[in-house]
Amino acid sequence: MTVPRHRIVDLMRAQCKVFNNVFNPEGLRMGTSVLRQRLIGPSVASYYPRKVGTYQDFKKLYAEWESIDIDEFEREEHVAGRKARGKGAPKKKRTAPDFKKGGKKR
């Protein structure tokens, strides 16, 4: 004696309702296991300490003082060296390209 499928599905539905599970009789991948997990964003964010006092903050507070941002200075030196060797970024175009009346010829 076999039990009809719809009776088994009804039993599964009732079990899922009682035990607070997701009813998924086809066994499709739904991502519910991922959604049930705790969020990790706050713990990752709290792992790293908050930045206190960057160079830009210091520069805003004491604008009258002259100081050199060492990281920015080294970056500019690096860019200048690359440009001197011909490895820098290409120059931007100043004018729009001239289009011919006929368009592309193949």
- All structural domains of the chain with their residue ranges: 55-84
Tell me the per-residue pLDDT of 7-62, one tens digit each, with 9 for 90 and over. Answer: 999 999 999 999 988 898 888 888 888 888 888 888 887 888 877 888 888 888 88
104, pLDDT greater than 80: no
pTM: 0.36
Contact 25, 12 (CB under 8 A): yes
Contact 80, 73 (CB under 8 A): no
83, pLDDT greater than 80: yes
